[in-house]
Amino acid sequence: MTDLRLGVLGYGLRGSLARTAHRPGAGSRVIALADHDVTARTEAATAFPDARIATDHRKVVEDPDVDALVILTPDHTHARLACEALREHKPVFVEKPLDIGIEACDEILRTAYETGTRLYVGHNMRHMPVIRLMRDIIGRGDIGEVKTVWVRHFVAYGGDWYFKDWHAERRNTTGLLLQKAAHDIDVLHWLAGGYTRQVQALGDLMVYGDNPHRRQPGEPKTDDWYTEDGHWPAHTQRDLNPVIDVEDVSLVNMRLDNGVLASYQQCHFTPDYWRNYTVIGDAGRLENFGDGPGGVVKVWNSRRSGYRADADAEYPVPDEQDEGGHGGSDPLLIDEFVRFVREGGRTDTSPVAARMAVAAGVRATQSLRDGGTPREVPDLDPELVAYFERGQTRD
């Protein structure tokens, strides 16, 4: 089987996904890439020496040799670029979040439906070993029927990853409650078996907003913008983005369409980086301690008691190879995308679920900026829901 020929738009922080997808002779390879930034183009030329490198995305979108597009550009550009590619009848991979607005997400799904072109969204956490493990435990009925889900996200590197570039500005992201939480909201929906219908949120810019050490407009990030061990405590960060108007702490309460109650909490100045999920059913609960190799998911379901660290069952998080990033989930994500482009069919990721995660994030952000006023999450057109649930096929 010949390689699927990929065109890539954007080579920033998620350029690692393009490198993962580039495996000549093993199913897919990058043959064209576009980015506005000269440094990104230089790095891309090194990573993909045989690829055509351009400044204009249209040269990649309209390239007749490109079989499918991988969109890794900033969030607010996703709808425009994805719809252009879909109208060229080229299958599209869109990095999460699908976009930063509900209407923009609906436009992408509608365009995919009208053109009959395959759409895939890069919610790689659905392939993370810890998430698959928790879903398997729930699916076996070990904790009974899910009733409530609590998620805490500790983002130790938030100051490096989200407050030194375009992520720090509402116009590009809506807010980190959408941009960063889209992963966890999607997983929460997947574990709970429903979509958010009502949200109420609070949040604030507590640490990075007071930091006066900003770069000048147009000034590039410094070479040491990210280090594994440095830039701690959070207030010692330097060379932040000139504009910072997104929250660094957010708290959300959610009611799902199946009655499940859920909460999500995000903080960008913690000393540790990981996600903690607690899922409680009517016959037990599970909780993960660590979300990668060395972590464990514990289940309490045999009896009532006081605090006990020794659970009724403990399951180690599978020790997957992490060469492709995100606990080994990125290579699996690419595998699924390539298979989907070639063969069609159902996928573990879902454009409908991606839209619902964005919709919940948008409405929650509106709530927290309006003093915590509850908001309703709008439905998606049932015609689109049915189309994508069928695996993007007509009746």
Question: Could you report the per-residue pLDDT of 21-54, keeping only the tens digit for each?
Answer: 999 999 999 999 999 999 999 999 999 999 999 9
Q: What is the helix (H) or strand (E) element at residue 254, kind and residue range?
A: strand 249-256
> Residue 319 has what pLDDT?
84
> Residue 326 has what pLDDT?
65
Segment 189-207 shows an average pLDDT of 98
> Residue 1 has what pLDDT?
73
Q: What is the helix (H) or strand (E) element at residue 285, kind and residue range?
A: strand 284-289
Q: Is the pLDDT of residue 245 over 80?
A: yes
> Residue 322 has what pLDDT?
56
Q: What would the DSSP string read from start to end of 89-116?
A: T--EEEESSS-SSHHHHHHHHHHHHHHT
Helix, strand or coil for residue 313?
Answer: strand
The per-residue pLDDT for range 3-28, each reduced to its tens digit, is 999 999 999 888 999 999 999 999 99
Q: How far apart are CA 161 and CA 225, in angstroms?
A: 9
The per-residue pLDDT for range 103-137, each reduced to its tens digit, is 999 999 999 999 999 999 999 999 999 999 999 99
Beta bridge partners of residue 316, listed in sequence order: 296
Q: What is the helix (H) or strand (E) element at residue 86, kind and residue range?
A: helix 78-87
Q: How far apart are CA 190 and CA 357, in angstroms?
A: 10
> Residue 346 has what pLDDT?
93
CA dihedral (136, 137, 143, 148) positive or negative: negative
> Residue 328 has what pLDDT?
80
> Residue 325 has what pLDDT?
60
Q: What is the helix (H) or strand (E) element at residue 253, kind and residue range?
A: strand 249-256
Report pTM: 0.96
The per-residue pLDDT for range 340-365, each reduced to its tens digit, is 999 999 999 999 999 999 999 999 99
Percent of the chain scored above 90 by pLDDT? 94
